[in-house]
């Protein structure tokens, strides 16, 4: 079975982020990780490999040269092969473009199953996985919390729906996005890290994936960044003084009613 | 070119979701400024009550009442909403960034090759078009974005982004039908509604959130009681969920849910960046923690420095008597 895992390298949640003077670009401290939700996708692929014979796990990202580090993390965990589709000078804010490129890669590479995290923790969009499925005309299930193999052509998955949980049987090829709770992603072993350091990661030119340059370049973007700003900070906290819990609570309720008007 | 606005209406347990009314209210404001038509889109089966319910909020109600739309599925809903968008050519389609919205809108955007902005918290009208407000990097940066090169734009908004305004509309009902394809490659085997909680965490007006300071799962009863008095929901920090004191669906934070209730009360929550990223857009934040140096106080409007086990029972009593007065 061929499993594709699409990943993204994202800024560490604690990385310093500054808005550049043009107000339209960001300067991010050099602290990047494999996206939190993508770790679940890589882990689930490795688990499937343990259950289905002759399974190959291919990870791929559309990113800058730096993103090779995140691909190496996936190999260190246990993926077999990685590809970087190089977005130098083409990086885009439009998920339609990224999804088209990844779908183009999937078509070229061939696959039975595609996994990816339910969303990236940087742009917090959560569009790419579902869009790739639509471009490939395959079924998808969002934010799965459980995956079982029925046979090589069929999977049983669980995900949350409004007000409950659903179990679905899905024919492959299909795409699933992974949610926290599906597994506990492993920490790579030193042998894995050694293997990843030596792994050959081919760099792919996105224009070789059957898409014309005009479809993927910056002019094709349907999303335009107007500006970035930092959120307005809150005034300093008002600590409520009082001798007893009763006094403090009384004052709090009064403030929430009369000042904040939320009770 | 059309300037019309579509609002995708969502229901839960047979009633219209609060977030749908929020979107209708914002849509109304835009429709007036643009002199365009506001459409409420109701998809489902046996949906007369829902179409009646949205009439006062919209100019027109497009209803597609079909057996194939009984339960949400991306296949039939993408077909149905895609059909209506092609037929009516709205310039804007608003949805909520709920489980359904996050599943349906990207699929639809890819189908229509329409630009999408997800999990937005605001939208403004400018001379040269729209300006959409969207937090990124866990709310540490606000991005303002616009869409271009396309007749229709899709936008999902975080629940609690807009206030609900009651307007007397006429809501002319238009019944539609379409050819809907149920994807035979997906077969729903089981639906478990038992895990459902009364108030959706992201839609809750009040969230009372417990951290590790709650000391154990049994003490969350204190929070449940207060949440019930206030008609709110109990949330939990990552540490609490990782310790299996509460379910993942309760988790507020970067890897959990992003919430912006009118009132957030953090109890024994330290305020790690991971957590504050998921709640710092709340309108009013109260922190209760015995450690005066807890980070949560940097995000709070009001703080009580005390043992939460001294405070919560008193708070419960105080809120109870407040409720009785009202």
ipTM given for this complex: 0.95
CB nearest to A262's CB, from B131, B150, B263? B263
State the Cα–Cα distance between residues A138 and A124, nearest whole angstrom. Answer: 24
Query: Which residues neighbour B5 within 8 Å (Cβ) at sequence distance 6 or greater?
Result: B27, B30, B31, B34, B36, B37, B38, B39, B90, B91, B92, B93, B94
Mean pLDDT of A81-107: 97
Collapsed DSSP state (helix, strand, coil) of residue B221: helix
Range(s) within chain A of domains with CATH label 3.40.50.620: 2-216
Q: Are A115 and A183 in contact (CB under 8 A)?
A: no
Placement of tokens 């409420």 in the chain: B40
Tell me the Ramachandran region of residue A111: left when phi exceeds 0, alpha when psi lies from -120 to 50, beta otherwise: beta
B96 forms beta bridges with: B157
Q: Are B71 and B186 in contact (CB under 8 A)?
A: no
CB nearest to B102's CB, from A95, A142, A235? A142
Q: Of all helices (H) and strands (E), which one includes residue B146? A: strand B141-147
Q: In Å, what is the CA distance from A54 to each residue of A191, B87, B277? A: 22, 48, 42
- The answer to whether residue A232 scores a pLDDT higher than 90 is no
Asked if B20 reaches chain A (Cβ–Cβ under 8 Å), the answer is no
User: Which residue, among A127, A134, B30, B49, has the nearest Cα to B7 in the 3D structure?
Assistant: B30
- The answer to whether residue A28 scores a pLDDT higher than 90 is yes
pLDDT digits (tens, 9 = 90+) for A134-168: 999 999 999 999 999 999 899 999 999 988 899 99
CB nearest to B117's CB, from A162, A221, A223? A223
Q: What pLDDT, on a 0 to 100 scale, did the predictor assign at position B325?
A: 85
pLDDT digits (tens, 9 = 90+) for A180-189: 999 999 999 9
CB nearest to B146's CB, from A96, A224, A260? A224
Per-residue pLDDT of chain B (326 residues; tens, 9 = 90+): 689 999 999 998 889 999 999 999 999 999 999 999 999 999 999 999 999 999 999 999 999 999 999 999 999 999 999 999 999 999 999 999 999 999 999 999 999 999 999 999 999 998 888 999 999 999 999 999 999 999 999 999 999 999 998 777 789 999 999 999 999 999 999 999 865 566 889 999 999 999 999 999 999 999 999 999 999 999 999 999 999 999 998 999 988 999 999 999 999 999 999 899 999 989 999 999 999 999 999 999 999 999 999 999 999 999 999 988 87
Q: What pLDDT, on a 0 to 100 scale, did the predictor assign at position B195?
A: 55
Interhelix angle for B99-112 vs B74-88, to 10°? 50
Q: Which of residues 50-69 of B touch A (CB under 8 A)?
A: none
Handedness of CA B80, B82, B83, B84 (dihedral sign): positive
The CATH superfamily holding the domain A2-216 is HUPs (3.40.50.620)
Mean pLDDT of A24-46: 97
Q: What pLDDT, on a 0 to 100 scale, did the predictor assign at position A31?
A: 97
Q: What pLDDT, on a 0 to 100 scale, did the predictor assign at position B170?
A: 84
* Contact across the interface for B141 and A127, Cβ inside 8 Å: no
* Contact across the interface for B118 and A127, Cβ inside 8 Å: yes
Asked if B182 reaches chain A (Cβ–Cβ under 8 Å), the answer is no
State the Cα–Cα distance between residues A88 and B142, nearest whole angstrom. Answer: 25
Q: Considering only CA atoms, give the Rg of chain B.
A: 21
A169 forms beta bridges with: A156, B187
* Measured CA angle at B187 (ends B184, B191), to 5 deg: 150
Q: Are B117 and B145 in contact (CB under 8 A)?
A: yes
Asked if B255 reaches chain A (Cβ–Cβ under 8 Å), the answer is yes
Q: Which two tokens stand for residue A106?
A: 């999937």
State the Cα–Cα distance between residues A7 and A129, nearest whole angstrom. Answer: 10
Question: What is the CA A82 to chain-centroid distance, rounded?
Answer: 16
Number of A–B residue contacts, CB under 8 Å = 247
* Contact across the interface for A222 and B192, Cβ inside 8 Å: no
B133 forms beta bridges with: B122, B144
State the Cα–Cα distance between residues B38 and B255, nearest whole angstrom. Answer: 35
Render A151-215 in DSSP notation, one character per residue.
ETTEEEEEEEETTEEEEEEEESSEEEEE-TTS--PPPPPHHHHHHHHH----EE-GGGSS--HHH
Q: Are A75 and A196 in contact (CB under 8 A)?
A: yes
Query: Which residues neighbour B55 within 8 Å (Cβ) at sequence distance 6 or greater?
Result: B40, B61, B169, B170, B171, B173
Contacts of A171 in chain B (CB under 8 A): 184-186
State the Cα–Cα distance between residues A46 and A106, nearest whole angstrom. Answer: 19
Q: Which of residues 131-150 of B touch A (CB under 8 A)?
A: 131, 135-150
What's phi and psi for A38, nearest 5 deg?
-75, -25
Q: Which of A20, A96, A229 should be substituted to probe chain B, the one whose Cβ sees the most B Cβ atoms within 10 Å?
A: A96
Q: Which two tokens stand for residue B45?
A: 């089966």
Q: Are B261 and B205 in contact (CB under 8 A)?
A: yes
* Contact across the interface for A125 and B274, Cβ inside 8 Å: no
A32 forms beta bridges with: A11
* Contact across the interface for A181 and B248, Cβ inside 8 Å: yes
How close, in Å, is residue B219 to chain A by CA atoms? 18
Maximum Cα–Cα distance for chain B, whole Å? 62
Q: Which of B136, B200, B273, B293 should be substituted to probe chain A, the one whose Cβ sees the most A Cβ atoms within 10 Å?
A: B136
Q: Which two tokens stand for residue B271?
A: 């305020």
Q: What is the pTM of this model?
A: 0.94
State the Cα–Cα distance between residues B303 and A252, nearest whole angstrom. Answer: 9
My answer on whether omega of the bond before A173 falls inside 30° of 0, hence cis, is yes
Q: Which residue of A has its CA nearest to B110?
A: A131
């Amino acid at each position: 079975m061929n499993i594709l895992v699409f990943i993204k390298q994202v800024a560490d949640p604690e990385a310093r982020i500054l808005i550049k003077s043009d107000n339209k670009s960001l300067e991010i401290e050099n602290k990047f990780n494999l996206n939190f939700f993508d770790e679940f996708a890589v882990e689930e692929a490795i688990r499937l490999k343990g259950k289905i014979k002759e399974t190959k796990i291919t990870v791929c990202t559309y990113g800058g040269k730096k993103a090779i580090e995140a691909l190496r993390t996936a190999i260190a965990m246990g993926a077999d092969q990685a590809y970087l589709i190089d977005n130098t000078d083409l990086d885009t804010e439009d998920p339609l473009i990224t999804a088209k490129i990844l779908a183009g890669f999937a078509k070229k590479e061939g696959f039975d199953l595609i996994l990816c995290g339910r969303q990236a923790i940087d742009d917090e969009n959560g569009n790419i996985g579902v869009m790739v499925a639509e471009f490939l005309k395959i079924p998808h299930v969002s934010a799965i919390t459980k995956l079982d193999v029925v046979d090589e052509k069929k999977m049983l998955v669980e995900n949350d729906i409004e007000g409950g949980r659903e179990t679905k049987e899905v024919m492959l090829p299909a795409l699933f996005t992974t949610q926290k709770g599906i597994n506990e992603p492993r920490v790579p072993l030193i042998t894995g890290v050694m293997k990843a350091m030596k792994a050959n990661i081919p760099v792919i030119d996105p224009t070789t994936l059957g898409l014309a340059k005009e479809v993927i370049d910056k002019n094709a973007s349907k999303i335009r960044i107007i500006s970035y700003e930092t959120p307005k900070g809150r005034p300093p906290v008002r600590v409520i003084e009082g001798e007893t819990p009763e006094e403090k609570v009384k004052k709090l309720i009064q403030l929430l009613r009369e000042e904040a008007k939320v009770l | 070119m059309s300037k019309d606005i579509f609002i995708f209406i969502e229901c839960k347990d047979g009633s219209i979701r609060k977030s749908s009314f929020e979107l209708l209210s914002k849509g109304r404001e835009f429709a007036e400024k643009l002199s365009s038509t506001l459409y409420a889109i109701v998809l489902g089966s046996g949906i007369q009550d829902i179409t009646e319910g949205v009439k006062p909020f919209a100019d027109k109600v497009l209803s597609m009442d079909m057996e194939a739309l009984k339960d949400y599925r991306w296949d039939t809903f993408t077909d149905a909403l895609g059909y209506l968008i092609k037929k009516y050519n709205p310039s804007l389609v608003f949805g909520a960034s709920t489980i359904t919205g996050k599943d349906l809108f990207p699929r639809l955007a890819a189908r229509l090759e329409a630009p999408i902005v997800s999990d937005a918290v605001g939208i403004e009208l400018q001379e040269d078009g729209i300006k959409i407000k969207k937090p990124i990097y866990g709310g540490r940066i606000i991005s303002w974005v616009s869409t271009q090169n396309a007749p229709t734009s899709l936008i999902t908004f975080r629940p609690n982004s807009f206030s609900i305004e009651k307007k007397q509309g006429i809501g002319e009902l238009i019944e539609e039908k379409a050819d809907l394809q149920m994807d035979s490659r997906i077969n729903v085997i089981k639906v478990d509604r038992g895990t459902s909680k009364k108030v959706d965490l992201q839609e809750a007006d009040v969230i009372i959130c417990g951290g590790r300071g709650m000391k154990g799962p049994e003490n969350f009863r204190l929070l449940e009681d207060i949440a019930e008095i206030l008609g709110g929901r109990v949330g939990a920090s990552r540490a609490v969920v990782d310790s299996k004191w509460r379910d993942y669906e309760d988790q507020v934070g970067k890897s959990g849910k992003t919430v912006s209730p009118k009132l957030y009360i953090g109890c024994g929550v330290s305020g790690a960046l991971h957590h504050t990223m998921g709640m710092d857009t709340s309108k009013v934040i109260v922190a209760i923690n015995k450690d005066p140096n807890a980070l949560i106080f940097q995000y709070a409007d009001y703080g009580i420095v005390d043992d939460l086990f001294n405070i919560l029972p008193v708070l419960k009593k105080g809120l109870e008597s407040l409720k009785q007065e009202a």
